[in-house]
Structure formats: C-alpha cells, structure tokens
Structure 1
Amino acid sequence: MVAIVAVVLVTRGGRHEVEPGVVDVQRASPAAAAQVLRDFVAAVDAEDADALAALAPVGDDAAADLLTGIGSDLPELDLRQVSARYVDQVGTVAEDGSWTALTELTWQFGSFDAEPSQGEVLVSFAPSGDGLGITGFGAGATSARGRVPLWLHGDLSVSGAPGVLVLVDGSRADAAEVVARVERGIAVVRRVLPAWRAPVVVEVPASAADLDETLGVAPGTYAGIAAVTATAGSGTDDEAPVHVFVNPEVTAGLRRAGAQVVMSHELVHVATDAARSGTEPWLVEGFADYVALRDTGLPDRTTLGRAIAAVRRDGAPDGLPTAADLGTQAPDLQARYEEAWLACRIIAERLGERGFVAVYDAAGSGTPVTSALGRRGLPVSELVRLWRARLELVAR
C-alpha cells in the first residue's frame, strides 16, 4: 500500500523550509494479508495445488514451486482443521513492498492426531497485481521466532503403514526406509510395553537447521541430536499431537543398527508420553535406551563406550545424570545417556523387568523416583552405589 508523506526541502534566503511533496512509501496491509491467508486455507482444504500456486506473486517461480509442492502432498497427508489467523506485522516493509507477518496456524494429520497442532508461523508476502502474494514461510535459519511445520516445506515424500505416517524432505526411498525402521521399532517397544497401540507420525526435515526451524527453536539446538520426540506445535495439553522428529545429518552417519536404536528409543517416548512427563530425565532417557537396546546383544564396550572413556578420564561421577547433564548442548552428552541407561539396566536386574516398568509408570504418574524405588526395596543411594561400582568395573 502507499502513504503520502511531506518531504520536500526548499531553500529561501538561506533558510531551509519544508514544503508539501509526495513520495511513495510502501505499507503493510493486514486486511490484504488476512485475505490471502483465507485463500491459502481454502486451497489447502480443497487440496487444490493450482489454487495454491496462484497465491504466489506474479513472476515468482520459486514461490509458485513451493506452493505447488505443498499442494501435491495434501492428498497423502489428509490435513484437517487447517486455519491461519493474521497476528501482526514483523519488521518493516522492504523497498520492493515485501514484508513478513506473524500468523497463528493450526493443522491436523487426519486420524493420526487427536486434535490440531497450533503454532506461530512467519509468512512472507510481496505485491502481486493489486493485492498480495505469498513468497514463503519462516525467517530462515537466523531466527528462532515462530516455526515452519514440515508440511509447509512442500514437495515431500510421504509414506506410511497401518498406524504409521512418515514425512521426509527427501526421496521416496528415504521415506520407505524410515517406515521400515518405525515398524521394527514398534515391535521392539511392544516386547516391553505390549499394550501400546497409539499411531506414530515421524517427520524428517532435510537438515539439522530445518529441524530447528520445524520445532521453532534457536539455530543449533538439535545440531548434535539424532532425533527428538516433541509436540508438533506449541500446545502442551494432554491431547496435543506428539511426533518424532529426526535429524538426518546425524542419523546419516549411523550404521543401520544405530539408526534403529535411535528410532526405537524415540518410539518408547511416544508410547510413554515422555514429551509431557515430569519424570526425572535420567529415568526417561535410560528407560528408552533400556527398551531400545534390550535385545540387540551389543557388548558393554559398545553400549558404554563413551561412559567408559569418561570414567577413565574423570573417575566415576558422584551422582546420576541431572537434567542439565542431559541437555541438548551438554558436554559429554552421549556418555551421560549411557550412564542413565546403565542405571536403568541395574534397576531391571534388581527388580525384574516388570518391577522396573512399574517404577517407571509410578514415576510417570507423579510418584517421586526415590519413593517409587524405595517402595520396591531399592533406595536411590543403593542404586547409585551399585551404579558407580559397575562403571568403575567396566572402565578397568
């Protein structure tokens, strides 16, 4: 849009005076943006790739390709409950009239999600004829404001199996491989948690930077993490959809068995609703690794390799890993995960697998871990003593 501004400077007798003049200053139009967002939602609801492509500014082939790609994925995604509400302008309008708005978006993957996800998404606009067109979503890897749901990346490979939906920003072969990994992981989880039957959604962005953007976190947050189980949007209530998000840059460097352990681990988190759990992180992560590694037959020198190196360097730690020790940016993170797994393996050895699962369930229901263990005759102090002695033994 155009505003009228007085900016003409005139010199008279050595004095500077301002006289009215006219320049064109681009301004954002919330009303026009809101209309484009309504058109976007209508096209998504109709699964109309052509209508989506028409929302790109005239001559912007990149935007048209993006929107066409989004449209081509829609039949396989079964998106429902999509809405997009204009919230506010972000930043200033560029000289070419382009600008960005913060929107509140909702979306739901058919029968896989119990309710819609919601989150703040940045949408970029540019003039198109007498109105606006959509040029893209998000602010790029330099900003953590808002998120970009993977389905807005467009032209994905979507695959699945009964109870499984996989979205990959990559090839069909990549998607099929992830589906197979999920199916194997479900079987692994059910050996310990046989009653679990919840559907699974797995999202695999193209890069670690895209993973951060998909989750709406600061750049670099998950650079060294193979995968994370989290709510798909900003909601945290009991019905907010929880998906598995994979970092392809890390998993690409893993052997087949390692990638399978990662997936099985994350599926344990899905099965136990760990994303919303207040349970101590060492128990959450250790339990997931206990289930994922239970039948692999891997030797301690492999499953405890980083922990062994840490003990040889620094000695056995005084206590179980803390929440800070298990943060995504923590030093020696893999060693801390291995230490948490060893603590959980010791619990299973002392209490039996059913006793261990009962402890985990009790902790997940709000019972302090110290109480849940103590009631079964394994005080935390005794667990720590056994755990430190085992670490020292394997590190010899």
Structure 2
Amino acid sequence: MAGLSLSLALAVAVVGWLVLRDDTYVAPSPRTPSAAVEPGEAAAVLQRFERAVRAGDADAAAALAPADDAAAADLLRAVVDNAAAIGVDRFTLRYVDAVGGVDQDGRWTAVVETTWRFPGFDRVASAADVEFDLRSETDGTTTLAGIGGSSTISPVWLTGPVRVVRGPRALVVAADDPGRYARLARAAVPVVRRVLPAWRAGLVVEVPRSGEELDDALGAEPGQYAAIAAVTSGVGDDLAPGVPIHVLVNPDVFASLDGRGARVVMSHEAVHVATEAATEPDVVPTWLTEGYADYVALRDVDLPLSVTAAQVARQVRREGLPARLPGDRRFDTRTTHLGAAYEAAWLACVLLAERSGEQALTDFYAGLEAGDDVDAEFRRAFGLSVAAFTRRWRQALSDLPA
C-alpha cells in the first residue's frame, strides 16, 4: 500500500511540474490520427496498380509504395516485370474487405479478389483472394506496401521477382535459376503425349524460393508439403474442372533429386496436368491417379523392380502383405511410408496394363473420370473383379525381389 501511495504521489508531482512549466507540453500525435481502414482509398490504389501492371509501367507501380519503403517499391516493380515476362493478361484487382485493423504505423491488410491468366497455356483466368498490405498515410492517401499473406494463397509471380523461360511446350516461372526446370518440363511433355496424344495444352511449372513459400503459394498449412518434391494443383480458389492446372515445385526437396529422379517426378506431375487430376471429381481412387502417373512417367525408363519397388518390398517384408489396394489416406503428404504407397499403386497399374494393354488402362482411368462405377468398369476393362485383381496384386508384391 505504501508503494502504491508513493507511485501516485510521483505521478501527481510530474503532472504538477508540467502544468507549472512556462512552455506548453504537447503529447506527440499518432502517425494516423483516424487509425481507420479506408476502403475507398484502398480500392483507388489497387486500381492504379492494376493499370500499371497492365501497361507494363514499373515506375508507376513503384510510385504506389510508401515513400520510405524501398523494398515495397522493388516488389511492385518486380510484379510489373514478371507480368511482362510471362505475358500475363486478364489481370484485375477488386477490394473485398480488411483483415483486422490499422496498426500504430498505419499498416493494415486487405483481401483482394485477384484474377490473372498465363496466355498460351491457361484457357481461362485464375481467380483467388490474395492479401495486400496497405498503409494509411498522414495526408489521407493509401499506399501499397506488400503482397501475400498466410490466410490466402500467395501466387509466386506476385510475391517477388521471377525468371521466366517460355517455349511452345512449357512455361517455367522460377524465383531462382529456371534452367534445370525448363529442360525437365520440355522433356516431360513428349513422355506424356506418347500415352496421351490428345493432350496439347502444354505444361506450366512454378518454382517458389523455398518449401515454406510453396505452402504459401498453395494456401496450405505450414509443412504440409515439406517432404514432397512437386505438387500439381488447380490455380486459384476455384478448383472446378477447366481451371488452369500448374505444377508447383518444392525446391528444397527437388534439389536433392538426381537427373533420372527429377525427370520421373516432372513427368509424373505432367500426367496429372494432362488428366486434370487436380480438379477431377472424387470418383477416381487415389491409387489409380498416382499409380497411372507413375506408370506413364516410368514407362520408358529402364529400371529393375529392385529399384522401382524397393520401398514397398521392404514394407511387405517388415509388415506383411496389405489386405487391399492403397486407400486414399495412404497418400496423405504427411503420412509415413508414402513412397511405398506410390510404388504399390504403380505396380497395380503395371499389372493391369500387362493384362489388357496400355489403352485399356487409359480407358479405365477415363471411364472413372466420367463417373462410371469402379467395379463395373473394372470388369469391363480387365475381365475380373477388383477382389480377384487384388489377390493377383498381393501375389506380385510377395514375389518382389528382396
């Protein structure tokens, strides 16, 4: 109690001293007196940025950044340069809402409905809510301080400088050296077209700076794709059939792949693009989606079973034969024995192709995409039931070389 009384006394003394001083004390005013979100100003600066990107005017874009924020100016300039290198069209920005309030520096975050298209590869524009960082200035204007955030997707080309390699077969958009990815993408296209000749759309590969930025680009939970070399995904918030489908690389994992492994991974993902696996209805079992992609990717690769089925062989020796074909949960990116699940699915597709031919396997996949009954389509394509095939598949697993 004595301590509290002393504190109060000191406070009163300080106030009295300020009152008795000859000069007048004025408390510093906050940087943004209103400390309020300004939707109208936000919409205006976003509209100006949209026009700058469409016009390829990097100087106009950089001028929208806070005067004391060189990093923001560099980012906005880079986005204009990225768009020009890629050839982005149908770029639009529409203010939707604020996320939280204004901080003491006048900064706040807006959700912005964003559309864009990579012409020559994307038939339609992608659409997604993207976070834009804004700053309310003391003169009542609003500036643009950053792009991308944790609660929405952060497209690679909008969040930092990229390097672009564009060809008739493939488009690579990479935060770092795109050379290796461009070579792999170009090589993957004919691998897929040998089995799926009707696919003519080409391949788009996006490479962020890190695995963490891959999660941001996909709007995924942190670490969800930490063990994955690449993932094929619909681009944007709407994953309905027909939306653009791109391959996104995890550079942290991909860098560890040797030449042959990298080629197989890129070809595998290209199959997913060609079959539109990322947007197909949930009627195709994952073992077929992943097994078929590996079947096409490994079709002309001369490797023994001791390599292509090594992980599943070890799993069988350790845990015994599985009772059924791999279920969807076995392909969760964070599950253990993920590689074994992929190999088991690949072996199933190899056996089906050996039984009835490659075209029968491809037609079976297409039939399930169209919504056909799995058991009925299985009998029609391969002349046996799923249960009967499962027994043959289990026998093949038991015969794998040690």
What's the TM-score once normalised by structure 2's chain length? 0.89
Equivalent of residue 250 in structure 1, options 250, 253, 270: 253
1:395 deviates by 5.1
Matched, 1:314 2:315: no
The SS at the match of 2:130 is strand
Query: Residue type of the partner of 1:373?
Result: F
Q: 3-state SS of the aligned residue for 1:166?
A: strand
Q: Deviations over 1:49-108 (max 9, x none)?
A: 111111110010111111111122222211111111111111221111111111111111
Once the two structures are superposed, the pairs formed by residues 165-314 of structure 1 within 5 Å of their partners are 165-171=171-177, 175-277=178-280, 278=282, 279-314=284-319
Q: Separation in 1 of the partners of 2:376 and 2:211?
A: 39
- More displaced 10-residue stretch of structure 1: 229-238 or 281-290: 229-238
Higher strand proportion: 1
Structure 1: how far apart are the matches of 2:322 and 2:253? 27
On the 8 A contact 1:228/1:266 being kept in 2, the answer is: yes
Query: AA paired with 2:158?
Result: L
In 2: Cα distance, 1:341 partner to 1:158 partner:
33
Q: Is the 8 A contact 2:169 2:186 kept in 1?
A: no
Preserved CA contact (<8 Å) 2:189 2:203: no
1:1-396 map, 5 Å: 24-128=33-137, 130=139, 131-139=141-149, 143=150, 145-171=151-177, 175-277=178-280, 278=282, 279-376=284-381, 377-394=383-400, 396=402
Structure 2: state its 5+ residue gaps.
1-11, 13-26
Matched residue count: 371
Mapped partners of 2:49, 2:334: distance in 1: 38
Shift of 1:25: 4.9
The amino acid across from 1:320 in the alignment is: L
- Is contact 1:312–1:395 with CA below 8 Å preserved after alignment? no
TM-score by length of 1: 0.90
List 4+ stretches of structure 1 deviating above 2 A: 21-25, 127-130, 236-239
Residue identity opposite 2:105 in structure 1: D
- Alpha-carbon shift at residue 129 of structure 1 (Å): 5.9
Distance 1:129 1:69 in 2: 27
* CA distance in 2: counterparts of 1:239 and 1:196, whole angstroms: 14
Return the offset for 1:225.
1.1
Greater CA deviation, 242-251 or 126-135? 126-135
Residue 7 of structure 1 corresponds to none
Does structure 1 conserve the Cα–Cα contact (< 8 Å) formed by 2:305 and 2:401? no
For the aligned residues, what is the CA RMSD? 1.8
Alpha carbons 1:71, 1:154 under 8 Å: kept: no
Q: What SS does the corresponding residue of 1:229 show, helix, strand or coil?
A: strand
Q: Deviations over 1:155-178 (max 9, x none)?
A: 20101211321100102xxx1221
Q: Is the 8 A contact 1:309 1:395 kept in 2?
A: no
In structure 1, what is the Cα distance between the partners aligned to 2:364 and 2:272? 16
Matched-pair identity in % = 43
Provide the secondary structure at the position in 2 that maps to 1:89.
Answer: strand
In 2, Cα distance between equivalents of 1:129 and 1:111? 44
2:388 is matched by which residue type in structure 1?
A: E
Give SS of 2:120's match: helix
- 1:378 deviation in Å? 2.5
Letter in 2 for 1:291: V
Distance 1:239 1:355 in 2: 25
Provide the C-alpha distance between the structure 1 equivalents of 2:135 and 2:108, rounded to a whole number of angstroms.
6
Checking the alignment, whether the CA contact within 8 Å between 2:312 and 2:340 is kept in structure 1 is yes
| In structure 2, distance between residues paired with 1:41 and 1:348 | 50
CA distance in 1: counterparts of 2:138 and 2:297, whole angstroms: 56
Unmatched 5+ stretches in structure 1 = 1-10, 12-20
